[in-house]
Amino acid sequence: MEDNNTQGKNLHQSLLEAGVHFGHLKKKWNPKMLPYIFTEKNGIHIIDLNRTIEGLEESAAALKSIAKSGKKIMFVATKKQAKEIVSEAAEKVNMPFVTERWLGGMLTNFSTIRKSVKKMQSIEKMLEDGTMDSVTKKERLTLTRSKDKMQKVLGGISNMGRIPSALFIVDISHEHIALAEAKRLGVTTFAMVDTNSDPSKVDFAIPSNDDATKSIAIVTQYLTAAIMEGLQERAQNKEAEEDDNDDEEMKDRGIEMNVEEDEEKGARRGGKPGGGGQARGRRKTTGTRTGGGAKK
């Protein structure tokens, strides 16, 4: 219990130092954030960090489980102060991300988005293997610019072959289109929710300052660590399963070899006595016939 309390105190202090508790001006608040507000100071709402920790722990446990199951989690943060933090975190755990511009239909019209991704990858391949050498400089320049433009927007989801199982969003008011698409498709949503937003719009709300870089960083890093744990446990389980399969295969081979050896031994034992018995039988019969002839 002491360790848990110590960890809780350390996390609380870290969140405090990162300014996670600073909300928006009172006049900009969303009444649905009332349960997450600790107090008001100088016209600014102060977020209850105990509720923030609750949101972090619940979100971390759920995200870890999703990662452990092998499903994808998309990171969404197109705000200037969040782009680099979120893209680096997503790349660290090999998850898709959108940090430039959310294209309408990125989830709800995923098949079309996927075609654009394939087109981008096709151009990249042509540039690498020398296919572009046969086209004019103007055509090459046009294709290169097209590829760069698509890479900027779609690069973070280039390896995403299907709709993700979850979205982690920084600022749901800013990313309202992404949130709406996720809700429409039943994709689980996790988000940093500031005092000016509606926490009921997401499945897992983390009441927090979604504007300050330090706040965004500490929350994102906490969740990324949980995702990493899930991925590591998945890898360990796979290794254990492979070892079990190898053991079973070796056992099966051992049983087969034992059966074959028993069959060979049985055949040898049965063949020699039988052959010897037949030979003795012949000699005995021959002797009897000869004896019979002499008597006659």
pLDDT tens string 268-287: 666 544 444 444 444 444 44
pLDDT tens by residue, 26-67 = 999 999 999 999 999 999 999 999 999 999 999 999 999 999
Residue in this structure with the two tokens 């254990």, named with its chain if needed:
240
Phi, psi of 119 (to 5 degrees): -65, -45
C-alpha angle with apex 241: 240 to 245, nearest 5 degrees? Answer: 120
What lies within 8 Å, CB to CB, of 73 at 6+ separation is 63, 66, 67, 95, 96, 164, 165, 166, 167, 168, 227
Which fold does the domain 109-159 belong to in CATH? Answer: Helix Hairpins (1.10.287)
pLDDT tens by residue, 209-253 = 999 999 999 999 999 999 999 999 999 998 887 766 666 666 666
Compute the distance between CA of residue 131 and CA of residue 96 in angstroms, rounded to an integer: 29
Q: Which two tokens stand for residue 72?
A: 């994808």
pLDDT of residue 7: 60
pLDDT of residue 252: 67
Q: Which CATH code, of 3.40.50.10490, 3.40.1190.20, 3.30.70.3270, 3.30.230.70, is assigned to 2-107+163-236?
A: 3.40.50.10490
Phi, psi of 102 (to 5 degrees): -85, 115
Mean pLDDT, residues 111-138 taken together = 86
Considering the entire predicted model, what is its pTM?
0.78
Residues forming CATH 1.10.287 domain(s) in the chain: 109-159
The percent of residues above 90 in pLDDT, for the chain, comes to 69
